Structure 1
């Protein structure tokens, strides 16, 4: 047990991380520390590096420069803007994720049904996941992630392609999950890192905002300061809606 008064270890720490895809430099010299329980929004114009940074944090993209340290004891799950749905029932889409983590199939099916109920999809558990609407598929992806009891939830533009009603539903679930606890227990509230172009959503869900520009981390501020304080010029224009 950590001694009273000591600072909690960060979930992840990036020191000068650089990522290249061929001749394209997606991230340049990124320094970042995220503490357990933070709600971090990644914002910036298209191509600024938000998705690449999320992939680095989830171990899906390798850094060609710099260093990364992550607390491997904390479980992670990621939800993509267009989540992949297997050609099987909604329930099996969730159960298979649990089965791959070593949960027995019968137990996985039961836990999958509970996860679907959590996101309001219990009534379509037997329906082929690929026939669901975009909003339903995104809620299914959240159920699949939540069923794994992650300590860290990463989301890449989770409401970008949804209609207003579906956006509200998914955003409410994000807030609900961020208020819950993962596998590490009550002392470790869920950490949430998400990318978004929806600045209203950022205000509602984030405690901290990171602005990226051409792969560089330009601003890293508490949410109130980001929307009310001075910003670098590109970030200021983005907040005003003049960059997208």
Structure 2
């Protein structure tokens, strides 16, 4: 069983410095992401969910504050090693040249590890072994997203970052993926951070939630408490569909 890993985010900010103005994308955000649990990042479009997600494996670099993987600040880790340990699945799938199998085996191959069976990871995400020799760029959007998740899992990550991974999937495929992630959390103590706009999905998959707005944390805590009785008027407005997007 993989040891559970915890992420601590301490007072981080991300300021985008442009020619004529500065844009604050994240503003003094702090949270603790507990091992073996799923945390949903919620909020209207443009609130900073994906930006926060990308800072956790340094795809975006913070301006202030610190992020720790267990007791080690992530800026002290080799970025490639960090991204192996903290895998990211983006909303839009991107692939290396080669087949589906080549993509799934890419991470273990460059690490010089024994190559796993790609069919196992295809099965995990609900695809048959027939997909192994196909060009991933010829697949449907939903199939591509599942291959992206299979590729991330083949690295045996300790933390999995998911940016709306089911946005291109139908209801049945979404449910399958949710079940896969829940099983990995139980069996491997996998830590998951999941960006979603789907409140019903967040209710199903998350033990913890963080609600963002204008790059700030409005609420966070256990999902059951948030959905039962949010502690702020903004949280209540979000659950009722009255908290609009951000410019």
TM-score by length of 2: 0.84
Alignment of 1:86 with 2:96, yes or no, is yes
CA–CA distance in structure 1, aligned partners of residues 126 and 142 of structure 2: 11
Of residues 37-46 and 112-121 in structure 1, the stretch that sits farther from structure 2 once superposed is 112-121
Count the aligned residue pairs: 226
Query: What's the CA shift for 1:10?
Result: 6.8
Partner residue in 1 for 2:218: 218
Alignment of 1:194 with 2:194, yes or no, is yes
Partner residue in 1 for 2:134: 127
Deviations 1:150-195 (A, max 9, x none): 11111011112333333233323222332231xxxxxxx1111111
Partner residue in 1 for 2:229: 229
Where does structure 1 differ by over 6 angstroms across 4 or more consecutive aligned residues? none
Partner residue in 1 for 2:14: 19
Partner residue in 2 for 1:29: 28
Alignment of 1:161 with 2:160, yes or no, is no
Query: What's the CA shift for 1:135?
Result: 1.5
Any residues of structure 2 matched to 1:19-58 within 5 Å, and which? 19-22=14-17, 23-58=22-57
CA–CA distance in structure 2, aligned partners of residues 231 and 170 of structure 1: 30
Q: Does the 8 Å contact 2:5/2:159 carry over to 1? A: no
Q: Does the 8 Å contact 1:15/1:67 carry over to 2? A: yes
Q: Does the 8 Å contact 1:87/1:130 carry over to 2? A: no
CA–CA distance in structure 2, aligned partners of residues 180 and 80 of structure 1: 24
Partner residue in 2 for 1:116: 122
Question: SS where residue 130 of structure 2 aligns?
Answer: helix
Gaps of 5+ in 1: 1-7, 182-188
CA–CA distance in structure 1, aligned partners of residues 230 and 54 of structure 2: 29
Query: CA 1:82 to 1:213, structure 2 compared with 1: closer, same or farther past 3 Å?
Result: same
Query: What's the CA shift for 1:231?
Result: 3.0
Query: What's the CA shift for 1:9?
Result: 9.5
Query: CA 1:117 to 1:70, structure 2 compared with 1: closer, same or farther past 3 Å?
Result: same
CA–CA distance in structure 1, aligned partners of residues 140 and 124 of structure 2: 18
Question: SS where residue 121 of structure 2 aligns?
Answer: helix
TM-score by length of 1: 0.85
Partner residue in 2 for 1:175: 182
Query: CA 1:220 to 1:126, structure 2 compared with 1: closer, same or farther past 3 Å?
Result: same
Q: Does the 8 Å contact 1:54/1:154 carry over to 2? A: yes
Partner residue in 2 for 1:68: 67
Q: Does the 8 Å contact 1:86/1:130 carry over to 2? A: no
Question: SS where residue 26 of structure 2 aligns?
Answer: strand
Q: Does the 8 Å contact 1:86/1:129 carry over to 2? A: no
Query: CA 1:66 to 1:9, structure 2 compared with 1: closer, same or farther past 3 Å?
Result: farther
